[in-house]
């Protein structure tokens, strides 16, 4: 039986063991996938122990994604620019790092929800690790415009510069936004505290799709706000979570699992 795990701190709430077990059952694979809580100052030892004892693949979650990036001997292009790694595997003695978060976000929008990104005006809120982690796959969809808006505008400007070679990116302050966007993605951590980034309501029109990269058992604060401003659709990050897991599964097993049945199960809370 191949051994996989997600490593984080805290990690007991992680849905990854359940998602990967469902993918394995669906594709006829026999895997053991657990959650490992690494001490905050022992991430590297935890990873080394895992692979030395025969582990086949590791997902990495908060707060270790940047450390995983540094630890990897090789990185995919999307992980390289993301500055963070959420999927580790080892082959020929080398640790390979990938980042499937952005692909997960794009697939959830374009495939699960049939929301095209190309030629659309897209706003992403936040300029921390979560946003940097998804920018390359997002900009590769070739939106007409991608605006990164952040409370601390200098961080948005830094990201816009960093990704300038890949497409049309602009940086903005939150309160300087005016015209409505086709898609507004919340990549800030504000929802964790039940807060909403201070953006003008005019960014939302009746044709705007609002997407919160966070999810919870009830509607997130951002999605609730977007609904009140008249957004035509609000989506939370559960679909992104399942899609990033599917992409990790595909890296390890060479087969793309079906995500919709797994997402349906999670939505039903079972
Ligand atoms: P993560 O890894 O989740 O991205 P992070 O790197 O700490 O975490 O970044 C958090 C992001 O959420 C930042 O863009 C932060 O804005 P600042 O750079 O100005 O700190 C944003 N954020 C957090 N709380 C916020 C709030 N209440 N309103 C607006 N933005 C907020």
One domain, residues 113 and 189:
yes
Q: What is the mean pLDDT of the chain?
A: 97
- The CATH number of whichever domain residue 191 belongs to comes to 3.40.50.720
Residue range 16-24: average pLDDT? 98
Closest residue by Cα to residue 119 from 104, 103, 98, 141: 141
The reported pLDDT for the residue numbered 79 is 98
One domain, residues 76 and 92:
yes
Residue nearest to atom 27 of ligand 1 (CA): 190
One domain, residues 93 and 118:
no
Structural domains counted in the chain: 2
The reported pLDDT for the residue numbered 1 is 87
3-state percent helix, strand, coil for the chain, nearest multiple of 5: 40, 20, 40
Test site for ligand 1: of 154, 160, 189, most ligand atoms within 8 A of the Cβ: 189
One domain, residues 138 and 71:
no
Residues near ligand 1 with C-beta < 6 Å? 126-130, 150-152, 155, 188-190, 195, 197
Residue nearest to atom 29 of ligand 1 (CA): 197
The reported pLDDT for the residue numbered 115 is 98
One domain, residues 28 and 53:
yes
Test site for ligand 1: of 172, 188, 190, 192, most ligand atoms within 8 A of the Cβ: 188
**Whether the predicted pLDDT of 143 surpasses 80:** yes
Provide the pLDDT confidence category of residue 269 given band limits of 50, 70 and 90: confident
One domain, residues 17 and 72:
yes
One domain, residues 143 and 108:
yes
Share of the chain above pLDDT 90, in %: 96
Provide the pLDDT confidence category of residue 191 given band limits of 50, 70 and 90: confident
The domain containing residue 144 runs over which residues?
A: 102-236
One domain, residues 158 and 76:
no
Ligand 1 midpoint to CA 140 (Å)? 24
Ligand 1 atom with the shortest distance to the CA of 132? 4
One domain, residues 107 and 225:
yes
One domain, residues 145 and 197:
yes
**Total H helices, total E strands in the chain:** 11, 12
Strands, sheet with 2-8, edge to edge from the N-terminal-most edge strand: 31-37, 2-8, 57-60, 87-91, 94-98, 74-75
One domain, residues 114 and 226:
yes
Test site for ligand 1: of 67, 84, 99, 128, most ligand atoms within 8 A of the Cβ: 128
Ligand 1 midpoint to CA 128 (Å)? 6
**Whether the predicted pLDDT of 29 surpasses 90:** yes
One domain, residues 106 and 232:
yes
The 3-class SS string of 171-240 reads: EECHHHCCCCCCEEEECCCHHHHCCCCCCCHHHCCCCCEEEECCCCCCCCHHHHHHHHCCCCEEECCHHH
Provide the pLDDT confidence category of residue 270 given band limits of 50, 70 and 90: low
Is the model more confident about 240 or about 168? Answer: 240
The reported pLDDT for the residue numbered 68 is 98
Tell me the per-residue pLDDT of 221-252, one tens digit each, with 9 for 90 and over: 999 999 999 999 999 999 999 999 999 999 99
Residue nearest to atom 2 of ligand 1 (CA): 129
- 155 sits in which H/E element: helix 153-162
| Active site positions, annotated | 65
In angstroms, the CA 91 to CA 107 distance is: 27
């Amino acid at each position: 039986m191949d051994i996989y795990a997600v490593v984080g701190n805290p990690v007991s709430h992680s849905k990854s063991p359940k998602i990967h077990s469902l993918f394995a059952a669906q594709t006829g694979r026999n895997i053991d996938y657990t959650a490992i809580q690494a001490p905050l100052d022992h991430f590297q030892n935890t990873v080394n122990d895992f692979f030395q004892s025969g582990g086949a693949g590791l997902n990495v979650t908060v707060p270790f994604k940047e450390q995983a990036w540094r630890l990897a001997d090789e990185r995919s292009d999307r992980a390289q620019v993301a500055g963070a790694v959420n999927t580790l595997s080892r082959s020929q003695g080398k640790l390979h790092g990938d980042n499937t978060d952005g692909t997960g976000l794009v697939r959830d929008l374009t495939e699960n929800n049939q929301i095209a990104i190309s030629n659309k005006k897209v706003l992403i809120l936040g300029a921390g690790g979560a946003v940097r982690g998804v920018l390359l796959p997002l900009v590769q969809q070739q939106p007409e415009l991608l605006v990164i808006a952040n409370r601390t505008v200098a961080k948005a400007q830094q990201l816009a510069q960093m990704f300038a070679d890949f497409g049309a990116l602009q940086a903005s302050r939150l309160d300087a936004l005016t015209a409505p966007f086709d898609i507004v993605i919340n990549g800030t951590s504000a929802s964790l505290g039940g807060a909403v980034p201070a953006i003008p309501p005019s960014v939302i029109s009746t044709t705007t799709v609002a997407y919160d990269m966070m999810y919870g058992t009830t509607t997130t604060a951002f999605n609730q706000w977007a609904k009140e401003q008249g957004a035509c659709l609000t989506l939370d990050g559960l679909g992104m979570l399942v899609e990033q897991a599917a992409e990790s599964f595909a890296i390890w097993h060479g087969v793309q699992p079906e995500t919709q049945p797994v997402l349906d199960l999670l939505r039903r809370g079972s």
